[in-house]
């Protein structure tokens, strides 16, 4: 495995510790931050928040964008806007970051897990369709889970590591069953499926700008939608549901202090200017990895799926089995190259162990074999 460590060290041109993913600040970040500080508008009111929302919506092709403090908050509000209530059910994939299920749980709703596809690592349309056909029925245009008698209100597929899932097929199935599609696009800014940006297929989409994402505001997220009423409601709810007034404090419902601060927005505006450069760099890195690993026995590099343009946020490989995976993880990390396994399946966590699940053959296989490797933009 030393040849793998050597290759990664040479690729990143360093013998020092190589992190999995670190941010790059090579543009107007300091300039915009200083301008924001000088303006004294550093909280949720300021020009950079509005500017970012307009520029982001244009970038992904949505009509509206509402900036939030993080991606989990964006998902939480999106589910509220999708009319998900306590004891409703939300179909999602077990192979995802915990934020997906946390957002469902904040409402008191319950996740239902269906399998993923091997090539996309995202929610499988065939698994979704089979689950609905076998377990559900439409009564007065409402999708009822016959096992639990609960309403299935929404579906959250996730574009794993920036690789788009078969989101158009998922949308068709959700439309057939009157289930609201909410995309977890936290990892897929800059990714397209059939020439349409991820996050814009569903009624709502949520993105993240955490410190390890392809662009970052330290923390931060955003909701996108083409529905004017939902956009207005999202902004209202994320601003503590305050009724606009020059000086009075009146709140007309339970709201959330989820609005992105102007300080963070200044940073992310500068980062957004670099997105195309970062995506191109990551594709070049992916080609380097793909070429190298094609000659390595029992390790396959994960490439962008068919009909997709992936941002390659986190590069990943598949090992032969869990034993090989563990050997790979131990050797690389001991030798200064940070690698990590994919997430533990959500249905295996204590909080969700009793959740209803379909057959999860692909998810279990990927959990045991996928490893992320260093993915930072190379300067």
Separation of alpha carbons 259 and 221, rounded Å: 9
DSSP string, 82-106: TT--TT-EEEE-SSS-HHHHHHHHH
Residue 378 falls inside a structural domain: no
Regarding whether 220 and 327 lie in a shared domain, the answer is no
pTM of the model: 0.96
Regarding whether 211 and 135 lie in a shared domain, the answer is yes
CA dihedral for 275, 277, 280, 285, sign (positive or negative): negative
Half-sphere exposure of 68 (CA within 13 A, CB side): 32
Residue 84 falls inside a structural domain: yes
Strand order in the sheet with 204-208: 64-68, 221-225, 204-208, 180-184, 152-156, 89-92, 110-113
CATH number of the domain encompassing residue 154: 3.40.640.10
Instruction: Give, for all 379 residues of the chain, the pLDDT tens digit.
Output: 999 999 999 999 999 999 999 999 999 999 999 999 999 999 988 999 999 999 999 999 999 999 999 999 999 999 999 999 999 999 999 999 999 999 999 999 999 999 999 999 999 999 999 999 999 999 999 999 999 999 999 999 999 999 999 999 999 999 999 999 999 999 999 999 999 999 999 999 999 999 999 999 999 999 999 999 999 999 999 999 999 998 999 999 999 999 999 999 999 999 999 999 999 999 999 999 999 999 999 999 999 999 999 999 999 999 999 999 999 999 999 999 999 999 999 999 999 999 999 999 999 999 999 999 999 999 8
Regarding whether 230 and 340 lie in a shared domain, the answer is no
Q: Dump pLDDT digits (tens) for 141-169.
A: 999 999 999 999 999 999 999 999 999 99
Residue 379 falls inside a structural domain: no
Regarding whether 238 and 164 lie in a shared domain, the answer is yes
Regarding whether 108 and 93 lie in a shared domain, the answer is yes
Domain of residue 307: give its range.
Answer: 2-24+275-347+356-373
Residue 365 falls inside a structural domain: yes
Regarding whether 103 and 42 lie in a shared domain, the answer is yes
Regarding whether 299 and 236 lie in a shared domain, the answer is no
Regarding whether 322 and 307 lie in a shared domain, the answer is yes
- The number of domains in the chain is 2
Give the pairing of strands 142-145 and 136-139.
Answer: antiparallel
Regarding whether 228 and 216 lie in a shared domain, the answer is yes
- Residue 202 backbone dihedrals phi, psi, to 5 degrees: -85, 175
User: Of 249, 274, 299, which residue is a domain's last?
Assistant: 274
CATH number of the domain encompassing residue 326: 3.90.1150.10
Residue 174 falls inside a structural domain: yes
């Amino acid at each position: 495995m030393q040849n793998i460590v050597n290759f990664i060290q040479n690729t990143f041109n360093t013998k020092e510790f190589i992190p999995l993913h670190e941010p790059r600040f090579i543009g107007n970040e300091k300039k915009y931050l200083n301008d924001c500080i000088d303006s004294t508008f550093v909280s949720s009111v300021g020009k950079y928040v509005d500017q970012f929302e307009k520029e982001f919506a244009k970038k992904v092709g949505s009509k509206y964008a509402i900036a939030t403090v993080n991606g989990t908050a964006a998902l939480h509000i999106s589910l509220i806007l999708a009319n998900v209530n306590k004891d409703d059910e939300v179909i999602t994939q077990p192979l995802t970051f915990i934020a997906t299920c946390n957002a469902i749980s904040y409402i008191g709703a319950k996740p239902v897990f269906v399998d993923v596809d091997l090539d996309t690592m995202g929610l499988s349309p065939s698994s979704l369709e089979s689950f609905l056909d076998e377990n559900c029925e439409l009564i007065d245009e409402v999708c009822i889970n016959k096992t639990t008698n609960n309403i299935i209100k929404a579906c959250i597929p996730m574009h794993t590591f920036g690789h788009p899932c078969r989101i158009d097929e998922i949308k068709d199935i959700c439309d057939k069953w009157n289930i609201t599609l909410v995309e977890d696009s936290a990892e897929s800014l800059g990714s397209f499926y059939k020439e349409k940006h991820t996050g814009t297929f569903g009624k709502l989409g949520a993105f993240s700008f955490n410190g390890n994402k392809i662009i970052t505001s330290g923390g931060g997220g955003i909701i996108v939608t083409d529905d004017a009423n939902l956009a207005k409601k999202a902004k209202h709810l994320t601003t503590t549901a305050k009724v606009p007034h020059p000086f009075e404090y009146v709140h007309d419902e339970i709201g959330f202090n989820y609005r992105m601060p102007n300080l963070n927005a200044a940073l992310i505006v500068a980062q957004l200017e670099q997105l195309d450069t970062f995506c191109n760099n990551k594709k070049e890195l992916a080609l380097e990895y793909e070429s190298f690993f094609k000659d390595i026995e029992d390790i396959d590099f994960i490439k962008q799926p068919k009909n997709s343009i992936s941002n390659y946020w986190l590069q990943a490989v598949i090992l032969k089995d869990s034993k090989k995976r563990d050997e790979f993880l131990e050797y690389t990390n001991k030798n200064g190259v940070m690698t990590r396994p994919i997430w533990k399946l959500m249905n295996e966590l204590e909080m969700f162990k009793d959740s209803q699940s379909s057959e999860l053959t692909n998810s279990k296989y990927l959990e045991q074999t996928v490893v992320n490797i260093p993915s930072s933009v190379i300067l």
